[in-house]
Amino acid sequence: MAFRMSARSPNSEGERGRGLTGERVHGEPATTRTRQVKYTWVIQEFIEHFTYGGIALVLLLGSLGAPIPEELPILVAGVLSREAVIRWWIALPLCLVGVLAGDVVLYWAGHHWGERVCRWRAVRCVLTESRERRLLAAYRQHGVKIVVVARHVTGLRAAAFLTAGIARLPFWKFMLVDGAAACVGVPLSFGLAYFFTAQLQAVIEDVHRVERWLLVLGLVILGAWLARLAWRRNRAGLPGGAGEDSVL
């Protein structure tokens, strides 16, 4: 059964035409409307119309590499569950299934076709040759740890999970690690949307702000590690055997 609900937030005082962000999406445009607001509204309208099937389809497309942030349909599902449009005890497991189904399809395609899958033009849009080389090297060096990192990095998931199959990462390891990471991230996003629907836009902005700072911190740490690695190699190459244990 398909449920219908006017797109509104708890702060809209019953006024039609407000979506997850609280911005007007019908009638006169809001002065601060952004592409993100319109994009969020389109996803919400689609899921409201197709309900559970819409959740699964959007998550599957996002997992397969479509430009849909995985967190967005999960947040929409949490909000609609809070407003009793859908049942949370169906929506939450469905979000997990939708997320993992796309991951399994990508892994299977890479494992079944190997390097041949990279000849497809659509695949090369997601997995370029340089990215494939870097990911293969990373899997050889770090194994399933790459799956954990990729699960939480939008834009990297599809390429990383496809490459996991190409690299012949054992399927049980892939599913164990990916499933464990999803069982943490999906309920967290769903719960934030469910319990903090009125403050959802502020929560999203704070999360993005934290992600940017974490990215900067990660780059700084990576740069420091590379600098130390280069220093150690230079020290090891000094004449007279001067190395790591030598006194300056």
Q: Give residue-wise pLDDT tens across range 238-248.
A: 665 444 444 33
Give the per-residue pLDDT at 122.
84
128 is a domain residue? yes
104 lies in the same domain as 204: no
Whether residues 152 and 226 share a domain: the answer is no
Q: Does 223 share its domain with 153?
A: no
Q: Measuring CA to CA, which residue among 221, 120, 211 is closest to residue 162?
A: 120
Residue 214 within any structural domain of the chain: yes
**Could you tell me the pTM of the whole model?**
0.67
Range of the domain at 152: 10-198
Q: What's the chain's length in residues?
A: 248
The pLDDT, as a whole number, for residue 34 is: 52
Sign of CA dihedral 196, 197, 199, 203: positive
Q: How far apart are CA 43 and CA 58, in angstroms?
A: 8
- The reply to whether 246 falls in a domain is no
Q: Is residue 194 domain-shared with residue 206, that is, in the same domain?
A: no
Task: Verify that 226 and 190 share a domain, yes or no.
Answer: no
- Between the two ends of the chain, the Cα-to-Cα distance in Å is 75
Query: d(Cα 170, Cα 210) in Å, to the nearest integer?
Result: 33
Both 207 and 132 in one domain: the answer is: no
Alpha helices in the chain, H assignment, sequence order: 35-63, 71-82, 88-113, 121-126, 129-142, 145-151, 157-166, 171-195, 200-236
Which residue numbers in the chain have pLDDT < 50? 1-19, 21, 23-33, 241-248
Residue 187 shares a structural domain with residue 229: no
Number of domains forming the structure of the chain: 2
Distance from C-alpha of 39 to C-alpha of 24, rounded to nearest angstrom? 13
How many CA atoms are closer than 13 Å to the CA of 126, on its beta-carbon side? 24
Same domain? 114 vs 225? no
210 and 99 within one domain: no
